[in-house]
Structure 1
Amino acid sequence: MLPLPHLDRVFDYRVPAESDADAQPGVRVRIRFGGRLVDGYLLERVETSDREGTLAWLHKVVSPVQVLTPEIVDLIDTVSERFAGTRADLLRLAIPPRHARVENEAPVQSPPAPIVAPDLRNWSIYEHAMSYADAVRVGRPARAVWNAAPGEDWPRRVAEMAAMVAATGRGALIIVPDHKDLDRVVKVCETLVDPSLVCALAAGLGPAQRYRRWLSVLRGHSRIVVGTRSAAFAPVVNLGFVAVWDDGDDLLSEPRSPYPHTRDIAVHRAHRSGAGFLSGGFARTCEGQLLVESGWAHPLVASRSAIRERSPRVVALADSDFALERDPGAKAARIPGIAFSAARTALQRGDAVLVQVPRRGYVPAVVCQDCRESLRCRRCAGPLELVDDSGVYQCRWCSTSVHTPKCSACGSVRVRAQVVGARRTAEELGRAFPGVPVVTSGGDDVVAEIQPHSALVVCTPGAEPLVEGGYGAALLLDGWALLGRADLRAGEETLRKWMAAAALVKPASAGGAVAVIADAGIPVVQALVRWDPVGFAEHELAERAEVGFPPAVRIAAIDGSHAAVSGMLDVLELPGGAEVLGPVPLPPFARPPSADAGVDEGEIERVLIKVPRQVGLELSRALRVAQAARSARKETSAVRIQVDPLHIG
């Protein structure tokens, strides 16, 4: 594999007679290139070559196992072209490192029990869901964007679709954001089919176990594959169904070049293989809405009567003049009366109360009491935080301790909290509700499940523990911290996090209530109150199309030093209709990891190139050509290219 862009192509080699039997398409090989031995994959055997001159000999076949299937080759070619990357980068994402001892193990497989197609009656509350299931069952390329109803047992619903496909003899692939979701889906799948047919793939398994499971998928021993981000390339045999849960979660965006999004990989894979496709979540992203509006996928949405029956009562901050009269300080209080009332009522019934806080830690951000300037570290200019109640502040970047921070703007030594984290919130609630146990979940200490009892559960978004029967109430605190971010996806991301928490609450008929601490007039809050993720996604996509923001348009971000970005633009042949925005300086935390060590942080710049979606592929091809030209000239200043980056600000 040659990572240099100008060498991202196929090379011909002669196969020696002693390697003829093992040298089959898809095997790992070693070749001599540029005077050194490099790793590669054999793509095809042909009788003759179009290349003039004498061909070099294949050095050796590393392993006779054909790890690179034709379907994955085609997918890698498609994704590399879509995201302006190289095949070498994607091959590293798609195929785990070889583990020779595991590869030589004799697979032990007992005959699996026959798969009985599960009952799909619980899907009937979603319009067109049964027609979709029938189409997937018979092998038609049905595609859908599914909005799960409040309180839905989504792991079981997705597992039922996968088991239905497995019962027909085809393979199913389910991709989830994190290990917590992975464990839930695997557990349900193993109740529907023989556990030997279910394979969980995740990077945290360790080299040997990960490769062992990956080989079982390659050899067709596993019918249902459940995995995190990298499992999108899993070599599932006779793929019939691809599902992605919660595509708005940033864990599904690959942080390594060429930075593809798992949803887009799944879309391309389903489209090219003719498999069924399902993108599910409680909320809907603009990308999901675009799939629906383009006609590529159909919506699966529950009826309004089913949503009313299942959803909790949602109350917002100051949702009426009457509420303001009763609690005049509601707009200024962090936890106003409506939140305390909802929590107190649930606790008196013996229910657990979920408290969602946007930030983990104790006090993760502090500002000057006098001028409200953010307090920074004098050593590295990183943000200061209060890690506990000791009064000692610490830099979040370099961990330098500061006993008496001083404002660089006005010189004041008076400090106030700008953001309150989950641990400090747990302390405050513990004092407000004495005798009630407080559970915290977030960061490196995520609690998967708690027993149903009267308790306060303080967590960060995505770390909500499950509780049998649901929570009695949920308090969604510090809405301003989520909605006030200078980010294109702030509203979309806020609604996704709120809905994921609200979906864990009992329905209103059982006393379930959600108190969201944000202004009731904000569209995101109204979408939560009405439980209308589809309407919000439609409105959000229309607004982005009006001002030319993704996904209504295709955008490429080029990051690097001023010289590198300028050099890239000089050789880049832009397609018609392209608009160049920038360059603008990037803050230190957004610096490309591949940038030269000698480049000052202040010199890192970003240029955005915006084109209509119709010519998006032309832009990606032009970026690949320009990168190859710079690589061939052995440019030393690196640039990072991201097509449709998750965050553009």
Structure 2
Amino acid sequence: MAGSRSPRVVAPELPVARVAVDVSLPHLDRPFDYLVPERLHADAVPGCRVRVRFNRQLLDGFLLERVAESEFPGRLAWLERVISPEQVLSADLLGLARTVATHYAGTLSDALRLIVPPRHARVEQEALRPAVAPPARPRAEPWSRYEHGAAFLEAVHAGKPARVVWQALPGEDWPARLAEAAATSAAGGRSALIVVPDHRDVRRLETACAALLGEAGVVALTADLGPAERYRRWLAVHRGAVRVVVGTRAAMFAPVHDLGLAVVWDDGDELHAYPQSPYPHARDVLARRAHSAGAALVVGGFARTAEAALLVESGWAHEVVAHRDVVRRAAPRVTAIGEDDTQVARDPTVRAARLPSVAFQAARSALEQRAPVLVQVPRRGYVPALACARCRERAHCRRCAGPLALPGGTAEDGAARPAACRWCGATEAAFRCSACGDRRLRAVAIGAGRTAEELGRAFSGVTVRTSGGGGVLESVPAAPALIVATPGAEPVAEGGYGAALLLDGRTLLARPDLRATENALRLWFAAAAMVRPAREGGRVVVMAESVLQPVQALVRWDPSWHAALELDGRRELGFPPAKRVAAVDGTPDAVADMVDSVELPSTGEVLGPVPLGEVDEDGAAERERALLRVERHEGRALAQALRDAQAVRAARKNTEPVRVQVDPFQLL
């Protein structure tokens, strides 16, 4: 017949292609078999991008493997097209995608979207980037200030799976130290992958790496790159032209060859948690990559998270810390509110004032020494918390120790609703402060913009600069100035700051969040580490009571002590990382259906559901969250149960979606 297509001929060898089709439905989360036509036989290689017909639509996918026969008894459809013969999905990346999907109760297609960037045909046709020769091994003296630091670099160079939690010293040039570790791995013939929170950190780290490896020896992968440039750099790594990769959270999936060192800096920063399904965290992904590849791992920072403390406590990782004498010589002097009677006698309002006299004195002293002063103010967007109106201690639930909040709407009799727990949903109609016994509650508020205005009036003639939001300063000169910055936006000061004022400490500590104290201490350490040592006049004033444990950790500069306490508290309360927890979000009906569909392991329990804040006109919750909790050794079983429940709901064509996050960074 005129115009009819010639019959397709099957490929002469391995005629069946197993394809991961780009569909996110959980009940379709498996490979599908397709026949390979003879015309695509040469290009249809494992790892390439293909296009297939699925449910009467043409969809993209990845060819996973070629086999001789299919186990499917029915008639197979044909492979329609090979989009590109470039083998972008290697066996290592496929294994990583499956690991991420399994651990976080997600689908393989969701993981693959995060791991393999979109294709740009023009970039694939460009000439191959020449491979860079291994660099000379850098000297290890800077790491010798830390106990076992030099031994760690020796293990990295030898290709041994040394796993450490690194406690950086105050004032440490951490980009230079990490660049030395990466260059040591590259000198030994293996690759290095370093993930940091934001693009400012990437720029500093890339500069430090280029100084040791040359500009061609390092690649930076960040979200602010254009799609074509990002794919160009990704291909350079995938093809083995570059061995050292630095970047933000997306770089945790970089296709490095022969991984020898994986690093995550400041793992407590929320930017390390990916906001897209299946919501992986850079620390956990890099730990699994290092374990699988037999590579070294560094979890570094000025502070320490409970997750890092668990790695050390379990023996899976070891500490790389400096001796206490070295820490004391490098640290600034830290002053807390009300730490001695003399301070209170001189300023009776020291505990209530937002900027007491001791802070003014520290700032004036630094300015007189011609040094800049850092003023850290909590950023906008922190949720006001409920606290005791008398002593300002955080308001906790008596049942599960979760944070109390005031729900929206009114009760049936028109009265205001009582405070309720944001974790378990229990109401607290008769609050009594555990510290002072007062029954009154108050909200905690902040004012970042007003801080700069007040300081400008208090220090007339002194330059006041702000850093945060849309205007972040990279660095400031060694000149007298007041730098008001939000957490994470503190600019680097030449020669270090003369003083740092950490304002609104109570606000940070009172956040309705499981990680409130841990995060506050992390932000304080990051700012205080930028201050000159005490022997050079450096001073830090934290606006929080000296009796609080996180404040004591800052005063003593002992983050490991506080991390151990935090881990013990999480273990007592039954929250991550002591236990595995999954959050299920959605409409009340969808959450209830999902919870009923999950077959929890033997140690499983359900907390909630509780409202997420949105209410309709009748005061009913529009979205809720339920927490599913199991013992840590049953975490894999919990993830599998969640995957199975989502598959059942999808097969029943439930129209109301739910969001499932395993070990969410924030429980609220």
Taking structure 1 as the reference length, the TM-score comes to 0.89
Q: Tell me by how many angstroms 1:430 deviates.
A: 1.0
* Structure 1 pair 420–100 and aligned structure 2 pair: CA distance change class (3 A): same
What is residue 630 of structure 1 aligned with on the other side?
Answer: 649
* Contact 2:164-2:320 at 8 Å conserved across structures: yes
Q: Deviations over 1:82-139 (max 9, x none)?
A: 1100111111111111111111112343x64651111111111211222222222111
Q: Is the 8 A contact 2:490 2:527 kept in 1?
A: yes
Is 1:491 the counterpart of 2:517? The answer is yes
CA 1:610/1:355 → structure 2, altered by over 3 Å: closer, same or farther? same
* 2:600 counterpart of 1:553: no
Counterpart residue number, 1:207: 227
The Cα offsets for residues 370-399 of structure 1, whole Å up to 9 and x where unpaired, read as 9x9x99999xxxxxxxxxxxxxxxxxxxxx
Contact 1:422-1:440 at 8 Å conserved across structures:
no
Q: Would you say the 8 A contact 1:13–1:57 is kept in 2?
A: yes
Please tell me the residue identity of whatever aligns with 1:466.
V
Does the CA contact (< 8 Å) of 1:201 and 1:227 recur in 2?
A: yes
User: Which whole-Å CA distance do the structure 2 matches of 1:428 and 1:585 have between them?
Assistant: 38
Measured against aligned partners, the alpha-carbon deviations of 1:158-188 in whole angstroms (never above 9, x if no partner) come to 1100001111221110000000000000000
Counterpart of 2:203? 183
Match of 2:621, SS? helix
- 1:353–1:472 Cα contact (<8 Å) kept: yes
Aligned counterparts, 1:609-620, within 5 A = 609-620=628-639
C-alpha deviation, 1:421, in angstroms: 3.0
- Displacement of 1:342: 0.4
Q: Distance in 1 between matches of 2:443 and 2:610?
A: 31
Give the alignment of 1:633-644 within 5 angstroms. Answer: 633-644=652-663
The 5-angstrom pairing of residues 166-315 of structure 1 reads 166-315=186-335
- SS at 2:32's partner residue? coil
Instruction: Kindly provide the amino acid, as one letter, of the partner of residue 559 in structure 1.
Output: D
Partner of 1:3: 24
Which of 464, 478, 482 is the aligned partner of 1:456? 482
Return the match for 1:57 from 55, 66, 78.
78
Which runs of structure 2 are paired with 1:418-433 in the superposition (5 Å)? Answer: 419-433=445-459
CA drift at 1:327: 1.1
Query: Is the 8 Å Cα contact of residues 134 and 186 (structure 2) preserved in structure 1?
Result: no
Name the SS of the counterpart of 1:419 in structure 2: coil
Equivalent position to 1:473, from 499, 506, 509? 499
Q: 1:60 to 1:600 in 2, by over 3 A?
A: farther
Q: Deviations over 1:129-159 (max 9, x none)?
A: 2222222211111111111011110011011
Maintained 8 Å contact 1:366/1:375:
no
Q: Which amino acid aligns with 2:36?
A: V
| C-alpha deviation, 1:601, in angstroms | 7.6
Instruction: Give me the whole-angstrom Cα distance separating, in 2, the residues matched to 1:171 and 1:46.
Output: 32
Match of 2:367 among 347, 363, 376: 347
Residue correspondence of structure 1 range 67-106 to structure 2 within 5 A: 67-106=88-127
Q: Deviations over 1:213-268 (max 9, x none)?
A: 11111111111100101111110011111000000000011111111111111111
- In structure 2, give the amino acid aligned to 1:58: L
Instruction: Sort the Cα spacing of 1:571 and 1:199 in 2 relative to 1 into closer, same or farther, 3 A.
Output: same
Q: Check whether the contact 2:49–2:85 (CA below 8 A) recurs between aligned residues.
A: yes
Q: 1:100 to 1:119 in 2, by over 3 A?
A: same
How many percent identity over aligned positions?
Answer: 56
Distance 2:167 2:620 in 1: 42
Secondary structure of 1:544's match? Answer: helix
CA contact (8 A) 1:248 1:496 kept: yes
Of the candidates 112, 115, 119, which is equivalent to residue 139 of structure 2?
A: 119
Aligned in 2, Cα 1:577/1:205: closer, same or farther, shift over 3 Å?
A: same
2:589 corresponds to which of 563, 577, 580 = 563
- Which letter maps to 1:74? G
Q: How does 1:564-603 map to 2 (within 5 A)?
A: 564-588=590-614, 602-603=621-622
- The match for 1:518 is 544
Aligned residue for 1:149, secondary structure, equals coil
- Please identify, of 10-19 and 280-289, the stretch whose mean Cα deviation from structure 2 is larger: 10-19
Q: What's the RMSD between the two structures over aligned residues?
A: 2.5
What's the offset of the Cα at 1:192? 0.2
Partner SS, residue 609 of structure 2 = strand
TM-score (norm: length of structure 2)? 0.86
Distance 1:542 1:460 in 2: 30
Partner residue in 2 for 1:527: 553
Is the deviation greater in 530-539 or in 292-301? 292-301
* Pairwise CA distance, 1:457: 0.4
1:489–1:366 Cα change, 3 Å: closer
2:132–2:242 Cα contact (<8 Å) kept: no
Structure 2 CA distance for partners of 1:599 and 1:158, relative to 1, 3 Å: farther
**Higher mean C-alpha deviation, range 421-430 or range 284-293:** 421-430
C-alpha contact (below 8 Å) 1:360/1:443 kept by paired residues: no
* Count of matched residue positions in the alignment of Structure 1 and Structure 2: 599
Q: Residue 279 of structure 1 aligns to a residue in which SS?
A: strand
Rounded Cα–Cα distance in structure 2 between residues aligned with 1:177 and 1:621: 30
Distance in 1 between residues matched to 2:358 and 2:205, nearest whole Å: 35
Distance 2:214 2:385 in 1: 53
CA distance in 1, matches of 2:444, 2:604: 41
Query: SS state of the match for residue 225, structure 1?
Result: strand
Structure 2 runs not aligned, ≥5 long: 1-21, 393-404, 410-441
Taking a change above 3 Å as real, the CA distance of residues 213 and 598 of structure 1, as seen in their structure-2 partners, is: farther
Describe the shift of the 1:566–1:377 C-alpha distance in structure 2 as closer, same or farther (beyond 3 A).
closer
CA distance, structure 1, for counterparts of residue 362 and residue 286 of structure 2: 41
* Aligned counterparts of 2:366 and 2:512: Cα–Cα separation in 1: 35
Give deviations 1:578-603, integer Å, cap 9, x for gaps. Answer: 11111212113xx9xxxxx9999823
Match of 1:388 in 2: none
User: Deviation at 1:364?
Assistant: 10
Secondary structure at 2:193 match in 1: strand
User: After alignment, is 416-425 or 26-35 more displaced?
Assistant: 416-425
1:400 corresponds in structure 2 to none
Paired residues of 1:312 and 1:506 also in contact (CA < 8 A): yes
Change (3 A) 1:645 1:600: farther
Distance across 1 between alignment mates of 2:193 and 2:350: 47
Cα distance in 2 for partners of 1:377, 1:107 equals 59
For the pair 1:14 / 2:49, whether they are aligned, the reply is: no
In 1, Cα distance between equivalents of 2:259 and 2:133:
20
Distance in 1 between residues matched to 2:452 and 2:160, nearest whole Å: 51
Take 1:601 and 1:471, find their aligned partners in 2: how far apart are those partners? 51
Q: Return the letter of the residue paired with 1:56.
A: A
Rounded Cα–Cα distance in structure 1 between residues aligned with 2:255 and 2:618: 41
Structure 1 residue 422, shift from structure 2 partner: 2.8
In structure 2, give the amino acid aligned to 1:311.
A
| Alpha-carbon distance in 1 for matches of 2:350, 2:588 | 49
One-letter amino acid of the counterpart of residue 487, structure 1 = D
Query: Which residue of the partner structure matches residue 44 of structure 1?
Result: 65
Does structure 2 retain, via aligned residues, the 8 Å contact 1:360–1:423? no
Amino acid in structure 2 at the alignment position of 1:567: D
Note the residue ranges of structure 1 that are not aligned, 5 or more in a row: 379-415, 592-596
| Maintained 8 Å contact 1:564/1:639 | yes
In structure 2, the CA distance between the partners of 1:366 and 1:7, relative to structure 1 (3 Å rule), is: closer
Residues 524 and 554, structure 2, Cα contact 8 Å, conserved in 1: yes
Q: Post-superposition shift, 1:418?
A: 6.2
Displacement of 1:333 in angstroms is 1.3
